Structure 1
């Protein structure tokens, strides 16, 4: 069974380790809420996200999970301050996602016109699972 894991750009930049398809990683996984990712990747794709990878917080009693990386997709999107917002906090613009399949994740991505790198969608399977 394959899983889709969201990996934030900033988590990788802070303290993540590079990974590529075929690598086995050991990640702390938190159950994902599709609503948290709908504006970044679109509602349909967000519904496919099973977990997010978390370096900085841990759920009590949950250890890391061994996963074999199958595919990696960079996610880029446009950010803007929402119309009518009292603050200056930029938010992802729905429908602006650009998905780029890559062969390695290191937390950094080539710049793309009009969008910013947000993170990775990683398909994987639990360490011991085999087709």
Structure 2
């Protein structure tokens, strides 16, 4: 069974282990909802994400799942202050996502791209027994 997983860049930068296509990984997976990622990817693409990898969140972590990584894609997007905002909280700009396939290892440090910031990885993987 193939699944699509959101892996936050900041979690990888903090204490993640690099991975790439063909690697076996053991990750705690939490079900994703489209609302979790729609600001970055839009509703349709966000709806295709099954799980998010989690090792920092407040919720109880499920037992790790063994997976074989099939593909890895970087997610980059632009941030700006929303029009009329009275706070200084920058938000993702809808429709600004750029997806970049990863050939080698994903280590949390993506090559800088003009006008967008690295956010996460989208990983397709298959469950292993």
Instruction: Report deviation, 1:127.
Output: 1.4
CA contact (8 A) 2:5 2:51 kept: yes
Alignment correspondent of 2:6: 6
CA contact (8 A) 2:42 2:94 kept: yes
Alignment correspondent of 2:31: 31
Instruction: Report deviation, 1:86.
Output: 1.5
CA contact (8 A) 1:72 1:123 kept: yes
Q: CA RMSD in A?
A: 1.3
**In structure 2, distance between residues paired with 1:122 and 1:72:** 5
Alignment correspondent of 2:50: 50
**In structure 1, distance between residues paired with 2:91 and 2:59:** 27
Deviation per residue, 1:78-99 (Å, 9 max, x gap): 0011111121011100000100
For 1:90-105, list aligned pairs within 5 A. Answer: 90-103=90-103, 104-105=105-106
Alignment correspondent of 1:110: 111
Which stretch of the first structure deviates more once superposed, 32-41 or 6-15? 32-41
TM-score by length of 2: 0.94
**In structure 1, distance between residues paired with 2:99 and 2:115:** 14
**In structure 2, distance between residues paired with 1:64 and 1:112:** 33
- Unpaired runs of 5+ residues, structure 2, are none
Number of matched residues?
128
TM-score by length of 1: 0.93
**In structure 2, distance between residues paired with 1:37 and 1:43:** 8
CA contact (8 A) 1:28 1:58 kept: no
CA contact (8 A) 1:15 1:55 kept: no
Alignment correspondent of 1:83: 83
